[in-house]
Amino acid sequence: MDVSNAEDTENRDIYMYKQNGGKHQQWDLIYKKDWKREPTTGEWNRDFGFMVNKDFHIVSQLGQKRYMDYVTRNLVIKTQNGRTTQKWYFH
């Protein structure tokens, strides 16, 4: 996933592009709740490295740390707003 023109601006489009190692292609997955203990059976998928059905956010590594958001059939980066369009989960 690549932030268009590597510009850290609100509503900037996200699209698929070949890997080039830039910060505009680096993301953090942040789980909705901080994890305080080791996962129990069924909560952690070892094959994929995700907690199953736990909400997380995908956050750009660009300076403003904007969240991936789904807006009218497009992926964009936006300031955190608490809307469900910024929540993702592994199913």
Convert the pLDDT of each residue in 49-82 to its tens digit.
777 778 899 999 999 999 999 999 899 999 999 9
Q: Is residue 70 helix, strand or coil?
A: strand
Kindly report the number of other CB atoms within 10 A of residue 71's CB atom.
12
What single letter denotes the amino acid at residue 53? Answer: N
Consecutive H or E run containing 29:
strand 27-31
Domain ranges (residues) in the chain: 2-34+42-86
pTM for the full predicted model: 0.59
Whole-number pLDDT of residue 41: 47
CATH topology of domain 2-34+42-86: Trefoil (Acidic Fibroblast Growth Factor, subunit A) (2.80.10)
